[in-house]
């Protein structure tokens, strides 16, 4: 559900204005010459695919090279997501730490017109809506609860606002899932599609809080310099029963 929303509404939209923020590690094609000149993969990075793209964009900006980052919507490969919460936590903490690394290493690009759309649109978006989002969300939630407990909030309007945000998130996810199904028909049964849409109702209560917590954990590791390795990212395999 998360991937469908990110790709259908996210990358297809960014693709139209040549501002795709990252090339997915599952399957990405890079200009070999530019990738090598930009330094290749950074062995110290925890978000190597996104970091390489940013570095290639920075190299292109420094050398006044025109470029484009494109997204092909047809599925060309399958990627297996984490099968346990523990592995999922490792993955998302690593992604968050990699994002923090990237922002720190390439902060020169922030609102820098020398780097075109990458500096004026993509980098600021990643900073405000990806890096800071979990922090703002945690602080906002704590402040919201404080206002509620101290009686400084209009309960009626607060409930209406929460219902609006909740409904809007479900609507966006449902549109992405249905759009993807109507276009590509990956799911043979509409029952599966409706079940996937139904999970959007639970995301804000079960899945999203984990994303926020794991992201904060990754930021903590970055700020404290705590040793963090990729860990054993076990793969269960498609169509394979989980072994006890």
Band of residue 232 on the pLDDT scale cut at 50, 70, 90: low
Q: For position 26, what pLDDT does the model report?
A: 75
Q: How many alpha carbons lie under 13 Å from residue 120 in its C-beta half-sphere?
A: 8
pLDDT per position as a tens digit, 18-70:
999 988 877 888 999 999 999 998 888 888 889 999 999 999 999 999 999 99
Radius of gyration of the chain (CA): 20
Q: Picking from 11-20, 49-58, 79-88, 100-109, which range would have the lowest pLDDT averaged per residue?
A: 79-88
Q: How sure is the predictor about 233, in pLDDT bands with cuts at 50, 70 and 90?
A: low
pTM of the model: 0.88
Cβ atoms of residues 85 and 207 within 8 Å: no
C-alpha 179/C-alpha 123 separation (Å) is: 28
Q: Which of 26-40, 94-108, 226-240 has the lowest mean pLDDT?
A: 226-240
Q: Which of 133, 235, 240, 172 is nearest to 2 (CA)?
A: 172
Angle between helices 85-105 and 208-224 (to 10 degrees): 50
Residues 6+ apart with CB under 8 A from 59: 34, 37, 38, 39, 65
Q: Express each pLDDT in 118-161 by its tens digit.
A: 999 999 999 999 999 999 999 999 998 999 899 898 989 989 99
Q: At 22, phi and psi to the nearest 5?
A: -160, 155
Give the mean model confidence (pLDDT) for residues 159-179: 93
pLDDT of the residue at 244 = 45
| Number of residues assigned to the chain | 244
User: For residues 6 and 13, what is the distance between their CA atoms, to the nearest angstrom?
Assistant: 10
Look over the chain and give the mean of its residue pLDDT values, rounded to a whole number.
90
pLDDT cut 70: percent of the chain above it: 93
Q: Two tokens at 36?
A: 């090598």
Structure tokens at 85: 């919460």
Q: How far apart are CA 149 and CA 106, in angstroms?
A: 41
Give the pair of three-digit tokens for residue 79.
Answer: 């990627």
Q: List Cβ neighbours of 187 (8 Å cut-off, separation of 6 or more).
A: 181, 193, 196
Is there a contact between 233 and 46 (Cβ–Cβ < 8 Å)?
no
Q: Give CA–CA dist 139/132, Å, rounded.
A: 11
Q: Which of helix, strand or coil describes residue 14?
A: helix
Q: What is the pLDDT of residues 17-28, one digit of tens each?
A: 999 998 887 788
Is residue 241 over pLDDT 80? no
């Amino acid at each position: 559900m998360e991937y469908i929303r990110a790709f259908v509404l996210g990358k297809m939209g960014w693709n139209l204005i040549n501002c795709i923020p990252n090339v997915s590690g599952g399957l990405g094609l890079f200009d070999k010459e530019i990738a090598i000149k930009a330094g290749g993969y950074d062995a110290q990075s925890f978000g190597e695919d996104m970091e390489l793209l940013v570095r290639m964009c920075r190299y292109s900006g420094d050398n006044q090279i025109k470029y484009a980052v494109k997204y092909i919507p047809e599925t060309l490969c399958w990627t297996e997501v984490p099968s346990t919460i523990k592995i999922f936590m490792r993955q998302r903490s690593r992604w968050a730490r990699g994002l923090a690394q990237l922002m720190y290493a390439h902060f020169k690009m922030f609102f820098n017109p020398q780097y075109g759309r990458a500096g004026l649109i993509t980098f600021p978006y990643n900073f405000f809506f990806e890096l800071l989002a979990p922090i703002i969300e945690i602080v906002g939630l704590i402040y919201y609860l404080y206002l509620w407990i101290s009686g400084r909030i209009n309960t009626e309007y607060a409930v209406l606002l929460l219902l609006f945000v909740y409904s809007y998130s479900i609507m966006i996810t449902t549109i992405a899932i249905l759009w993807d199904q109507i276009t590509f028909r990956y799911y043979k049964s509409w029952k599966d599609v409706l079940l996937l849409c139904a999970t959007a109702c639970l995301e804000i209560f079960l899945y999203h809080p984990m994303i926020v917590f794991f992201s904060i954990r990754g930021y903590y590791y970055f700020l404290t310099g705590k040793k963090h390795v990729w860990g054993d990212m076990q793969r269960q395999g498609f169509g394979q029963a989980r072994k006890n």
